[in-house]
Amino acid sequence: MAASRTARRLLREHFLRRFLDNDLISPNADRHEVLVLLAAALVVPGLVITVLILGQKYVIGIPTPALTSIAALDDKFLYITASMLVMALMAAVQWDALGLDERDTAILGTLPVDTRDIGRAKLEALAMFVAAFAVLLNGVPSVLFPLLTLSHFHVNIIAVVRMIVVHAAVTMGAGAYAFVTILLLRELLRVLLGPRGFRRVAGLVQAALVVALGTTLLLLPAIASNVPAKWLRGGDVWQTVPPAWFLGLYEAGTGQVTLTIRGLGLRIPAGLVVPERQAVLLYDSLLPRFSELARVATIVLCATACAALVLYMWNNRRLPLPRVAQARPSGQARKRVARLIAGALVPSPVPRAGFFFTVQTLTRSAQHRIAIAGACAVAMAAAILLMHGIRAIGSAAAAHARLLALQTVVTVIVLAGVRQALAIPAELRANWTFSMAWNGDMDPFVAGVKRAVIAAVVLPLLAAMAGLHAYMVGARAAVEHAAVGALISLIAVEWLVRPDKLPLTCSARPSGNLKALGPIYVMLLFVVAYNVGRLEQWALRGGMVRFAMLVGGLILTYAGSRLFPLRRRLSGAGSRSPVLARIELDDLPDTPTQRLGLSEPV
């Protein structure tokens, strides 16, 4: 029994380390650095939002109890939803590490440890990881937010502690619910599809979850504003939103404190008497719903956790069997199509190597998929914001410049994600393949990479947006707009896919002053995209001549951007020199002090 407990403790530690040392983190990364960065990334946003943004609102702005209660609904909804989204996103990113895998079989399968102990240890490690994550994410706001909302009222310490405990329990509970929902989805897919089917769809589901959750997280400030008004307007539909259940739980838990504050008989400033009375009526009208929602939250949390637990234990009742290579039909038709496309797009061998290696890595490697899914989430959020308030008109002449700018913004954001993904090595230890077969000239390989990005990323993106534009501005204008988008994308590819190192092989070059320049780049993107949109608006309204002028201008810009590598080649940097032949494929990432700019690069 004692031996089993010791084994479980050791296994728990092993699995906890695995959450940090998963495939998404470079094997050369420093675990302490990863931990510190992760903790900072979780703590700082909550601290900033609570102190800098909400601090002013409550300490300076709202001195009355009912108005505070109503105003706090938005913020509580924000905390609850943020906790849910971040926890769900974490579960999606850790997707592969959530259950036992073939590596566990290889490492632990031969040890004299009961398989049930391995499964239980994994589950305990998962619970500890989730708990630590939830505490880091919600700990600081749990203390500060109740203090801020109670800052004007003289309530006893028990009421304050109650507020803090309820805030912590509800936000962490909501986060846990979101996490177990993703876990339940994963385990359900495993049960329904079996190991092979699950492996086939897992990557796609993970990417879709990252895009959907990332987009919602970025749009959260807009979603979480004016909750009571939406609630009253939306009726029952609004109550099917999971954060609303937990908001009900929150209010049900702190209702006593709210009533106590009201009962203190505070002096209301003359100008706030009427709004305060309205707020009391509004809040009281919502009270019955709060208790109803609290019940829903409790039932749903328990039911989801139980279902996830049962399925998890069932799926992990034995260690997964290692994958065995099996004879498979060679897919002649698929290969023929791929060969035809490649023959047209990349006729020479080295660009063809770059083309296929890029497509295969971006679509099959978890790290690269997550990087691009993250960029897609940002692009989707930007697109939703840009589309806000624009209606379908079916006419190019009245097309809004914001709508026309959308294509540029989305494409450039996704391409920035692709640029980031290209800087991640596909598999550092396999780099010797390139060392041995490398011909010393990077340009042809990069040309293949660019064509892969155009074929596998840009064209599907433009095709998807063309459907939307056809609905919004009509089919003809959508085709013309897509043509302009294709040219802009070609220019963006030339500017963004311009690596100093061999893509997908060498360690990523640190992004340098991106922290300072990042906001400038973002602003620049929106300014340029909007002005290009206006230019396009002008061209679409003016007939073929103006459109031809725009296209001609873009072609000239594209030709100009192509001159850069040519200049590099003429100056000798891209030639087949023995110096470039020795591309450093085994270089280690910079030290943390260098990455953080604390020391000069050695």
Partner 1 sequence: MLEAHHLVKRFYGTAVVDDVSFALRAGEITGYLGPNGSGKTTTVRMLTGLVDPTSGSVTFRGTPIGDNLVEFRRHLGYVPEEPHLYPFLSGREYLELVGRLRELPERLLLDKIPAMLGSLGIGDAAEQSISAYSKGMKQKVLICAALLHDPDVVIFDEPESGLDVGTALVLRHLVRALAARGKAILYSSHILESVEKVCEKVIVLHRGRVVADASVRHLRTVMARGSLEEVFSELVLHEDPQRTAADLATLVSAR
Q: Which is nearer to partner 1, 349 or 519 (CB)?
A: 349
Distance CA 29, CA 589 (A): 8
The DSSP output letter for 133 is H
576 binds partner 1 (CB under 8 A): yes
Torsion sign (Cα): 545, 551, 552, 557:
positive
436 binds partner 1 (CB under 8 A): yes
Q: Which is nearer to partner 1, 13 or 427 (CB)?
A: 427
Distance CA 166, CA 149 (A): 14
Give whole-number Cα distances, 91 to 95, 102, 180, 240, 422, in Å: 6, 19, 8, 22, 24
Site string for partner 1, 360-399 (x = CB under 8 A): xx--xx----------------------------------
Candidates 46-54, 127-135, 226-234, 439-447 — which segment interacts with partner 1 by CB under 8 A?
439-447
Candidates 59-67, 187-195, 357-365, 539-547 — which segment interacts with partner 1 by CB under 8 A?
357-365
587 binds partner 1 (CB under 8 A): no
List the one residue from 439, 511, 593, 599 that touches partner 1 (CB under 8 A): 439
List the one residue from 192, 324, 516, 602 that touches partner 1 (CB under 8 A): 324
List the one residue from 344, 437, 516, 544 that touches partner 1 (CB under 8 A): 437
Candidates 65-73, 279-287, 394-402, 427-435 — which segment interacts with partner 1 by CB under 8 A?
427-435
Candidates 137-145, 162-170, 216-224, 432-440 — which segment interacts with partner 1 by CB under 8 A?
432-440
Helices 401-422 & 349-364 angle (0-180, nearest 10):
100
434 binds partner 1 (CB under 8 A): yes
List the one residue from 440, 460, 552, 597 that touches partner 1 (CB under 8 A): 440
Is there a contact between 452 and 359 (Cβ–Cβ < 8 Å)? yes
- Amino acid present at 497: V
Q: Write down the least CB distance from residue 546 to partner 1, Å.
A: 44
329 binds partner 1 (CB under 8 A): yes
Nearest to 195 by CA among 373, 323, 355, 372: 323
With residues binned 3-state (H G I as helix, E B as strand, rest as coil), the percentages for the chain, rounded to 5, are 80, 0, 20
Candidates 4-12, 108-116, 216-224, 429-437 — which segment interacts with partner 1 by CB under 8 A?
429-437
Candidates 76-84, 151-159, 233-241, 425-433 — which segment interacts with partner 1 by CB under 8 A?
425-433
The DSSP output letter for 458 is I
The number of residues that bind partner 1 (CB under 8 A) is: 40
426 binds partner 1 (CB under 8 A): yes
Nearest to 208 by CA among 185, 176, 188: 185
Distance CA 270, CA 30 (A): 60
Diameter of the chain by CA atoms? 85
Which residue is listed with tokens 């069997």?
321
Give whole-number Cα distances, 269 to 201, 293, 486, in Å: 60, 33, 60
Q: Write down the least CB distance from residue 429 to partner 1, Å.
A: 4
Q: Which is nearer to partner 1, 101 or 124 (CB)?
A: 101
Give whole-number Cα distances, 198 to 31, 189, 195, 205, 417, in Å: 30, 6, 5, 10, 27
Q: Which residues bind partner 1 (CB under 8 A)?
A: 323-331, 339, 343, 348-350, 352-353, 356-357, 360-361, 364-365, 426-427, 429-430, 432-440, 445, 576, 578, 581-582
